[in-house]
Amino acid sequence: MSISRLARSIAPSPTFALNEQARLMRERGEAVINMGIGEPKNKTPISAVLSSASKLNGGDIKYTPPDGTPSLKKSIICYTEDHYNRIIEPENVIVSSGAKQSIFNILYSILNPQDEVLLFAPYWVSYPEMVKMCYGVPVILTPEDGSFIPRMREIEAAVTSYTKVIILNSPNNPSGAVFPPELVADIVDFCERKKIYLITDDIYHKLVFDGAQAVPAYEFTTKSVDDSMIIAVNGVAKTYGMTGFRIGWVVANRELVELMTNVQSQITSCTSILLQAAAEGALNGMQSVVENLRLTFQNNRDIMMQELKTFNGVRVTKPMGTFYVFPDFRAYSNNSLELAKFLLERAQVVTVPGKEFGMEGHLRLSYAGTVKDISVGIERIKWALDPNSPNEIYIGDRKKVRDWL
């Protein structure tokens, strides 16, 4: 069979692959704990449910404008004014089927073959694959000091005449790191001077802890949205725990939004009117759900840190946002893919290999689940790896004896 070399070169999603294996194990009755998936456990906000149900009950479920319904775009404009301190017009907004599609649409609309996109390791797993799908070249910058945040001189050194885009994800998936405001300011100034697009993936911007703030990039430019190199991406998946609704949006200059609208109209025509109504309901409803989620994740983060600190050989940096932690497991294995497979098979715990995020030897662990899942999950990982942990453990109703250390 003859197929596209480009399609063949795109790596499968490690998260979905491991989740599928975990699902099959659960169907066999095995007591799997999923610490891999980035998905809050909350119920959909009632305002989102009612808004979508009202649209469904009306029975008028038709096409929408390809860039989003006027009412949802109005809500996004209000959200942008409240959280980004920017007054924008409907022509500066496009709604897509999730922030992932938003980022792909941006890259597809601005990249020419061999244009470079600078990514900071650790990066979200889909960034380099999307760049390659748009015939661009992902360039990975790994901080020299082993941290999760690069220094400005490293960024400047990594930029070439081919650099078209820098992607900034803060709070960061997978590390939970929040970029310092002064560094964001320097990056914005650099991009504005060099005429390099800065895509800010702000999907976790409200999920920050201990008084930290993910200051939006727009705070550090006096230019209007139409004149700036900044392109902001956001959505309802993480902030409102609405992962299955697949609603994201882009705020950018109107010329780019118009081009993205043309692209989107040829690919998906439009985003579902039911899902847009749900997103509108979330944005316009009681915002206490956001704070409740944030407090839940902060508490879960604290429990995760307590559990990991008792784990010999694991180095961990305290996350300041998101619902992930990215410990260094190189004391046990330099092959994170094999380690993740081992933990799934032996301890029945799903993790995500750090290699997929550009940092080998790490594992991404999600604390979006229950407190019990966090405690039991780390206990199982310790049992599987740490020779100082008890030799026996119960997984589900089965007693397991460690015989490989």
- CATH at 50: 3.40.640.10
Q: pLDDT (tens digit, 9 = 90+) per residue, 183-212?
A: 999 999 999 999 999 999 999 999 999 999
Taking alpha carbons only, the member of 185, 181, 229 closest to residue 205 is 181
Q: What share of the chain is helix, strand, coil (3-state, %, to 5)?
A: 45, 15, 40
Q: pLDDT (tens digit, 9 = 90+) per residue, 79-116?
A: 999 999 999 999 999 999 999 999 999 999 999 999 99
- The stretches of 121-252 forming alpha helices (DSSP H) are 126-133, 152-158, 181-194
* pLDDT number for residue 65: 98
Q: Domain span at residue 350?
A: 5-43+288-401
Residues whose CB falls within 8 Å of the CB of residue 341, separated by 6 or more in sequence, listed in order: none
* pLDDT number for residue 401: 96
Domain count for the chain: 2
Residues 163 and 277 in one domain: yes
* pLDDT number for residue 81: 98
Residues 292 and 238 in one domain: no
Q: Is the peptide bond before 171 cis (omega within 30 degrees of 0)?
A: yes
- CATH at 379: 3.90.1150.10
Q: Could you say which of 229, 258, 284 is where a domain stops?
A: 284
* pLDDT number for residue 14: 67
Residues 224 and 122 in one domain: yes
Contact 253, 225 (CB under 8 A): yes
Residues 248 and 340 in one domain: no
Residues 72 and 175 in one domain: yes
* pLDDT number for residue 37: 82
Given a cut of 70, the residues of the chain with pLDDT beneath it are 14-15
Taking alpha carbons only, the member of 102, 99, 132, 105 closest to residue 117 is 132
Residues 19 and 78 in one domain: no
Collapse the DSSP code of 168 into the 3-class scheme (helix H, G, I; strand E, B; otherwise coil) and give the result: strand
Euclidean distance between CA atoms 356 and 324, whole angstroms: 15
Euclidean distance between CA atoms 123 and 168, whole angstroms: 9
Q: pLDDT (tens digit, 9 = 90+) per residue, 34-71?
A: 998 888 989 999 999 999 999 999 999 999 999 999 99
Residues 138 and 248 in one domain: yes
Q: Is 198 exposed, middle or buried (0-12, 13-18, 19+ CB in 10 A)?
A: buried
* pLDDT number for residue 100: 96
Tell me which amino acid residue 29 is. G
Residues 251 and 193 in one domain: yes
Tell me which amino acid residue 283 is. L
Residues 269 and 153 in one domain: yes
Angle, helices 126-133/99-110, rounded to nearest 10 degrees: 40
Q: Could you say which of 284, 301, 322 is where a domain stops?
A: 284
Residues 161 and 185 in one domain: yes
Residues 277 and 233 in one domain: yes
Q: Could you say which of 224, 259, 284 is where a domain stops?
A: 284
Residues 212 and 357 in one domain: no
* pLDDT number for residue 88: 98
